Amino acid sequence: MLTTVLNFAQRVAEISLLGGIEIASVALIVYYIFAKTRAPVIIAGLFPNLNLSYRTSYLSKINTIRSDLLVTLRSSNEPKTQNSVAHGIGTQNMLELTPHSGQKPFKKLFDWGVLFPYVAQVVRSEKFEYRQVTEIVHNDAVLKHAIKQAAEQTLREQRYAKNGHRLLTRSASGDQEAQEEEDEKRGISYQAILRKQEQRAISILKDMGSTLNNGLLAFTSWILYKLLPCFLSGVVTNTKQIEMLKTATERSPGTPLIFVPLHRSHLDYIMVTWILTNNDIRSPLVAAGNNLQIPVFGGLLRGLGAFFIKRKIDPVEGKKDVLYRAALHLYLTHALKQGHNVEFFIEGGRTRTGKPCMPKGGILSVIVTAFMDGSIPDALLVPVSVNYERLVDGNFVREQKGEKKIPESFGKAISGIWKALKSNYGLMRIDFNEPYSIRELVNSYNKIAREDGNIAKVYKPSARVLQHNQSTSSLYGTDVVCEEHRNLIESISRQVVFDCAAATSVMSTNAIAFLLLTRFRNGAEEQILSEALDDLRNSLSGCKDIGFSGESSQIVAYACDLLGSGLVTRTRDENGRLVIKPVNSVESFIELAYYSNMLTPHFALSSILLTTFHSLLPETENKKDAAVSRKKLIDTALENCQIYRYEFILNKPTQVLENLLYQQLDDLLISGCVLTEELHDDLPNGVEGRRLANALADCLDEDDYDDVRAGEADEPKLLFASETPAQQRYICEVLAPFAWTYVTVAQSLQILHKNSMLECEFISFVINDLSSKVKRGSCIYAESISTDSVRNCLKLLEKWSVIEVCNQQGMRLISLNTLYEMSRESLNSIVKKIDAIVPKFNSGYFSVTP
Ligand SMILES: O=P(O)(O)OC[C@H](O)CO
């Protein structure tokens, strides 16, 4: 009795404590937003139609806030610029869009939606039934089986811990009774273990489950309509893409949409949901890392659709957490069966470098499996591209310099919101790309396998069910993860990431940062930068969506304003001309690279090709005679592409890289960065020849390149174009910082000689080495200091079997492989191979003046 009373009292105390914390947190947020910051601005914004303006004069009367908080912070010596740009044709700013708000009074006698447009919008937007799935998962027989499996696993571990291998041997002999007796003696109870695992299953599902509901969606939607304009000038979507999504859902009503965005900011979670809700599209369940399970915000995200998953599924290396995997697998499958749309971030975390990360296949694999085993008839994968003119979360410079990530916390979230509300982050852009049907993807994968004559690779649902019994032992849902399934998942995920990256709109800050880093590291006059922006826009038009429009000079001023005085300086020279320059610090270059890298994948192939071309050019008396054969160039460039295999996805799985290189080569010929013998000799200036080459490139499709190459033995050689060394240099500059990181990693391998090292220590060693090279000036790229690229290079070296990585109690230990341990020469050949991708700007052909 006493125990019951005490338990009850404890429960009450716990609930009150938690409730108290939640209430106090909400009160704190309200205090921050309304009392200390922009209360009048927000209040005026809440009731736009009541004409409450927030002019500074009004504010000074009520004397609550310093007016300097209300204007964009701008250093006094910088020129004033407009604080927004046009966001492109065919797009809409969601902040200004309330399709469900009221009719104008003269159209309808009274509509309260006219007075309260945002309330009307969120109340009238379409409501969907969001079924909870936790209970269904809990009752699933597969989960029960997984609980048993986990219990048996623990039982074996406990027996081993208490008895060593003695009892395991006995167990194998099948002496069940004797074993149970022995267990009892040693205090091991299978029933107790089973109960614990049952409790664990309940707690996993409780931690994981989303509570997506219309009420919270509507409330948050309204709040966002009010708060977003405080720090974003627009949330831009493409009208046609939204229509396309609506049509897709109308055409196949039972088919779930799987939104797959590239992850840039924590804000992505709520923004995709907010846009969909306000366009009357069912909000998705969103796979979120459990690092976001922080007080208040975790609950809020859960109500908006987040289901939390562990960042590391198997906490103990080499031991599968069968129960957790089964719970996650079942949660997703049942969510799809219950008609939920799903969203997940295929890269796992947010990009630290600004370019896409390599995809992770786990969640996609579960979705494909749900289709393969007939749980769902089909699903539409929607690649989503997200971009911000300025990143709201802050920058990732610390982490790139090798420091640890500061974990998410309530305090950090509050201070982030506080900082955001005081700043201007420009535009946010979201593009929803053409959906792929999983059914069609699987069919086309099979078609390719059949065409290749590889019938064993053909992937059929029935074959799969026969091959592998349904089980819970992997996130893949089968005991054996078959090779063709892995290939299929890898192909789809690479295709999604490639398409997302290609469809990401270029923002003003991306373009300016790219130009500053690749062409004007020492600064440029505003006029010259504007002209370079014009050129860049021309070169991108038709192949990349540009998220801004208007005069380039205005765009330059606007983007510099957004990047801020911490990243770019604007000063007048002795002639009164405005000079724009990157701030000369490691931090500012790393941050500028984040913005610039959005464009890097687009130029990666031409950069590899041209850098390879320069590395192959022989030293001759007359540089104009230096020639390289086309085949040699393409073959070597292909090898160099392999060096970047963990850094960039250079082609879709359906594209042949070699063909893409040939196409890039044609582009370089057209732009005059490379010449051919005929073009150079017979056609002065190469103009006519370029036109010819252009026409040829236009009428060739990918297959034709094979025929063209068939006759390449008598092909003209490729010659150095002495008239365009500057353009050639700009292209090579695109990947030069990555090349420097890679070569530094390769050079650092020698410290592993007869010496294993923790991976994290080796990474710090390389980062320190890079930092001193930058300090000394031997490496001119401060952005080469990049933990991410160091890691990618280590993956490459592991793939090449230059290093071995082993796990020791959760720590990654790296050492040289025997061949490289024994032979210095072999190690040097690796350094040489990687050094070939570093453009040599101080020697060779770049120094030629036209
Ligand atoms: O970028 P990370 O690693 O902090 O992870 C961000 C994800 O949103 C976690 O759910």
Which pLDDT score is estimated for 72? 29
- Is 90 exceeded by the pLDDT of residue 449? no
Q: Quick one: which atom of ligand 1 is closest to the CA of 289?
A: 10
Is 80 exceeded by the pLDDT of residue 454?
Answer: no
Query: Crossing angle of helices 39-46/214-231, nearest 10°?
Result: 120
For residue 289, give the amino acid letter: G
* Helices and strands (H, E) in the chain, number of each type: 37, 18
> Looking at the domain assignment, is residue 707 inside a domain?
no
Average pLDDT over residues 554-579: 92
Residue 664: CA atoms inside 13 Å, Cβ hemisphere, count? 25
Q: Give the amino acid at 568.
A: V
The residue-averaged pLDDT of 678-696 equals 47
Shared domain for 265 and 409, answered yes or no, is yes
296 inside domain: yes
Please state the domain count of the chain. Answer: 4
Say how many Å lie between the CA of residue 263 and the centre of ligand 1.
8
Q: Is the pLDDT of residue 195 over 60?
A: yes
Mean per-residue pLDDT, 265-277: 94
Task: Tell me the best of 207, 262, 263, 412 to mutate to test the pocket of ligand 1, counting ligand atoms within 8 Å of each CB and taking the most.
Answer: 263
Single-letter residue type at 91: T
Return the higher-pLDDT residue of 67 and 250: 250
- Spatial CA neighbour of 168 closest among 157, 322, 317: 157
Q: Which among 208, 210, 266 is the best mutation to test ligand 1's pocket, defined by most ligand atoms within 8 Å of the CB?
A: 266
State the pLDDT confidence band at 117, using cuts at 50, 70 and 90. confident
Average pLDDT for residues 681-706, to the nearest whole number? Answer: 46
CATH number at residue 752: 1.10.10.10
Closest among 331, 273, 277 to 305, alpha carbons compared = 273
**Distance (Å, rounded) from C-alpha 630 to C-alpha 668?**
13
Looking at the fold, whether 431 and 560 belong to one and the same domain comes out as no
Residue burial 652-678, b: 16+ Cβ < 10 Å; e: rest = bbeeebbbbbbbbbbbbbbbbbbbbee
498 and 530 fall within a common domain: no
Ligand 1: residue whose CA is nearest its atom 3:
349
The amino acid that residue 95 corresponds to is: L
How much is the pLDDT for 161? Answer: 76
Q: What is the pTM of this model?
A: 0.83
Which position has the higher pLDDT, 427 or 65? 427
pLDDT band (50, 70, 90) for residue 678: low
Closest C-alpha residue for ligand 1 atom 7? 349
Residue nearest to atom 2 of ligand 1 (CA): 349
**Residue that is last in its domain, among 569, 597, 625:** 597
| pLDDT more than 70, % of the chain | 78
CB 94, CB 236: distance < 8 Å: yes
**What is the distance between the alpha carbons of residues 565 and 6, in angstroms, rounded to a whole number?**
60
Looking at residue 338, which CATH number applies to its domain? Answer: 3.40.1130.10
b or e along 527-564 (b: 16 or more beta carbons within 10 Å of the residue's beta carbon)?
Answer: ebbbebbeebbeebeeebbbbbeeebbbbbbbbbbbbb
Least trusted range by pLDDT, from 476-490, 501-515, 734-748, 824-838: 476-490
pLDDT digit string, tens, across residues 365-410 = 999 988 888 889 899 999 999 999 999 887 799 999 999 888 899 9
Q: Whose C-alpha lies nearest to ligand 1, atom 9? A: 289
Asked, for residue 259, whether it belongs to a domain, the answer is yes
Point out the ligand 1 atom lying closest to the alpha carbon of residue 352: 1
Residues constituting the chain: 850
- Alpha-carbon distance of 382 to 433, in angstroms, equals 6
CATH number at residue 564: 1.10.10
431 against 153, higher pLDDT: 431
Q: Residue 427 in contact with residue 236, Cβ under 8 Å?
A: yes
Probe ligand 1: pick from 272, 273, 292, max atoms within 8 Å of CB? 292
CB 354 within 8 A of CB 595: yes
Query: Secondary structure of the chain: what % helix, strand, coil (to 5)?
Result: 55, 10, 35
Max CA distance (Å), the chain? 104
Structural domain contains residue 153 = no
Q: Write a three-state SS string for 670-733.
A: HCCCEEEHHHHHHCHHHHHHHHHHHHHHHHCCHHHHHHHHHCHHHCCCEEECCCCHHHHHHHHH
What ligand 1 atom has the least distance to the C-alpha of 263? 8
Give the β-pairing of 91-93 and 306-309. unpaired
Residues 498 and 512 grouped into a single domain: no
Separation of 330 CA from ligand 1 center, angstroms? 23
Under 8 Å between Cβ of 660 and 498 = no
For range 440-455, the mean pLDDT: 74
Tell me which residue range forms the domain holding 546. 508-597
Amino acid at 507: M
- DSSP-derived 3-state class of residue 270: helix
C-alpha 381 – ligand 1 centre gap (Å): 21
Q: With H, G, I as helix, E, B as strand and everything else as coil, classify residue 383.
A: strand
**Does residue 498 fall inside a structural domain?**
yes
260 pLDDT exceeds 90? yes
Distance 349 CA to ligand 1 centre (A): 4
Asked if residue 528 is part of any domain, the answer here is yes
Query: Considering 571, 597, 623, which residue would you say is the last residue of a domain?
Result: 597
Q: Mean per-residue pLDDT for 702-716?
A: 52
From the list 766, 763, 761, the residue with the least C-alpha distance to 747 is 766
Residue 104 confidence class, pLDDT cut points 50, 70, 90: low
Beta-bridge partners for 181: none
The tokens 């069966």 sit on which residue?
A: 337
Cα 560 from Cα 553, distance rounded (Å) = 11
Give yes or no: residues 514 and 413 share one domain: no
Q: Identify the DSSP state of 598.
A: T
What is the pLDDT, as a whole number, of residue 570?
92
Compute, in angstroms, the gap from residue 799 CA to the centroid of ligand 1.
Answer: 26
Q: What is the mean pLDDT of residues 823-850?
A: 83
Residues 271, 385 within the same domain: yes
Q: Which tokens is 201 given?
A: 């299953």
pLDDT band at 699 (very low <50, low <70, confident <90, very high): very low
Q: How far is the CA of 310 from the centre of ligand 1 (A)?
A: 11
- Residue 507: pLDDT band by 50, 70, 90 thresholds? very high
Pocket test for ligand 1, best of 262, 291, 357, 395 (most atoms within 8 A of CB): 291
Report pLDDT digits (tens) over 196-252.
Answer: 999 999 999 999 999 999 999 999 999 999 999 999 999 999 999 999 999 998 888
Spacing, Cα 286 to ligand 1 middle (Å): 13
Same domain, 551 and 418: no
Instruction: Give the number of other Cβ atoms within 10 Å of residue 477's Cβ.
Output: 27
Residue 291 alpha carbon to ligand 1 centre in Å: 7
pLDDT of residue 137: 93
Per-residue pLDDT, 84:
61
Q: What angle do CA 509, 515, 516 make, to 5 degrees?
A: 90
Is 250 in the same domain as 356? yes
Rounded Cα gap, residues 13 and 11, in angstroms? 5
Shared domain for 495 and 515, answered yes or no, is no
260 and 433 in contact (C-beta within 8 Å)? Answer: no
Is the pLDDT score of 831 beyond 70?
yes
Does residue 715 lie within any of the structural domains?
A: no
Which ligand 1 atom sits closest to the C-alpha of 266?
8
Q: Which two tokens stand for residue 642?
A: 């392999």
Ligand 1 atom 10, closest CA: 289
| Residue with CA closest to ligand 1 atom 6 | 349
Shortest-distance Cα residue to atom 4 of ligand 1: 349
d(C-alpha 570, C-alpha 587), whole Å: 18
548 with 389: CB under 8 angstroms? no
pLDDT over 90 at 692, yes or no: no
**Residue 812: which residues within 8 A CB-CB, separation 6 or more?**
758, 759, 760, 805, 806
The per-residue pLDDT for 689 is 47
Predicted confidence band of residue 694 (pLDDT cuts 50, 70, 90)? very low
Angle at 813 between CA 811 and CA 819, to 5 degrees: 160
- Phi, psi at 332, each rounded to 5°: -65, -45
What type of residue is 197? Answer: Q
51, two tokens:
């004409």
Q: Is residue 225 one of the residues assigned to a domain?
A: yes
- State whether 392 and 307 are in the same domain: yes
As a whole number, mean pLDDT of residues 347-363 equals 92
Residues 435 and 515 in one domain: no
Same domain flag for 496 and 578: no
Which two three-digit tokens encode residue 536? Answer: 């860049």
Paired residues of 568 in beta bridges:
582
User: What is the rounded average pLDDT for all residues in the chain?
Assistant: 82
Q: Which residues line ligand 1 (CB under 6 A)?
A: 266, 288-289, 291-292, 349-350
pLDDT of amino acid 766: 96
Q: From CA 791, how far away is CA 646, in angstroms rounded?
A: 9
Which tokens in the block code for residue 755? 């010496």
- Amino acid 725: pLDDT: 87
Domain boundary among 576, 597, 618: 597
Rounded percentage of the chain residues whose pLDDT exceeds 90: 53
